[in-house]
Amino acid sequence: MAVATAAPRTGESTSLAGLGRALVQHQMLRLDLATTIQRKADAGGIAFIDELIGGGHMQARQLAKFAAEVFGHPLLDLSAIDVTTLPLDALDRKLATEVRVVALGKRGGRLSLAVSDPTDLKLLDRIRDRRGRARMR
């Protein structure tokens, strides 16, 4: 399903992709509000999801359930995980904290991750690049 988006009146273009687009398509968020949230996030140099939750537009639990249902990923309660079982050396801690990612397991060359935004493909590429560089050292 596609959503037609009108160009912003200000002349600035704001592309609404990933999670924001899905929320609009499923009528969980109005297009004008999603666009405003995206612009604010871009201006502040933060992720859409941070502005969405931090701005009080949606509860984190509601958003997590939505993302799990729409994108077909399991919903994970991180408080139920024994942190001593996590592969702490699998990801750079600074990067993991910055982008809200938790390494859950490592098997061979595969790394299982818990991510806050399953639509953020740039984030996954960034993690792949960082891990690739770390192996080369």
Tell whether 66 and 83 lie within a shared domain. no
Tell whether 66 and 92 lie within a shared domain. no
Tens-digit pLDDT profile for residues 56-107: 999 999 999 999 999 998 998 888 999 899 998 888 888 888 888 999 998 8
Domains contained in the chain, number? 2
Tell whether 94 and 118 lie within a shared domain. yes
Beta bridge partners of 106: 111
DSSP-derived pairing of the beta strands 101-107 and 110-115:
antiparallel
Rounded (10°) angle between helices 31-44 and 18-25: 170
Tell whether 63 and 100 lie within a shared domain. no
pLDDT given at position 69:
94
Q: Is residue 120 part of a domain?
A: yes
Tell whether 26 and 58 lie within a shared domain. yes
Q: Is residue 112 part of a domain?
A: yes
Task: Considering only residues 81 and 135, tell me which one the structure prediction assigns the higher pLDDT.
Answer: 81
Q: Is residue 48 part of a domain?
A: yes
| pTM for this entry | 0.73
Tell whether 95 and 124 lie within a shared domain. yes
pLDDT band at 1 (very low <50, low <70, confident <90, very high): very low
Q: Is residue 5 part of a domain?
A: no
